Structure 1
Amino acid sequence: MNINAMNRLSFVHYLKKGYGSLFPSITSVQPQMPKTQITTFLKQSVKQHFPVIVQVNPTSLSETVSEFRGSVYFSPKSTQIIVKSDQKSITYLINARDIRHIRKVNK
């Protein structure tokens, strides 16, 4: 990892640590779902357009489990999943292999 990327990651970590109350926290870490179940549920949520919460395993960019809330779409040119927030103001790109758990949002 280059020095600029390391500095950027440490800055983000610093912000989250110092201003943690501004960032949504995960109430509970869900169990790892089987890959076939994740695939099936992703297909259903894309087809039926219902909002979901996607929980992602720790990656090289994040040391903790993260959650993203919104509507999911398949990326037409890659294996990434697109999650658009409910307000349509934030779009997340998630690698499908990093998904830990996915569940429907109860309104």
Structure 2
Amino acid sequence: MIRAGRAMNAGVYFVTQNADDLTDEKLKNNIGVKFAFRSRDMTEIKKTLQFFGVDSEDESNQRRLRELENGQCLIQDLYGRVGIIQVHPVFEDLFHAFDTRPPIQEKKGGA
């Protein structure tokens, strides 16, 4: 699908929460831009850093991914440059559309 999509000038978005889903070299070689949001799991952090092609044993790289704030992510562009960006939804509707937090339950009744 990724190769056919490119031939048809269509974008294909692949989303996963686990770097192990990206072990196929043919798939990895066809991904143009990569994003990685905060993770606390050291094994996952190392796999993500490897996927980005940066030193996964470097403690500052590990800390950088572990300490990302809400809305920040590691990005690798088409040229292989890696950095951090802040994602800020311009419209409140977009914020709510992508909000994955569980709904707040109000307490009923009084004590």
What TM-score, normalized by structure 2, do the two folds share? 0.24
Which structure's CA Rg is the greater one? 2
For CA contacts below 8 A with separation 6 or more, give which structure has more relative contact order. Answer: 1
* Structure richer in strand, relative to its length: 1
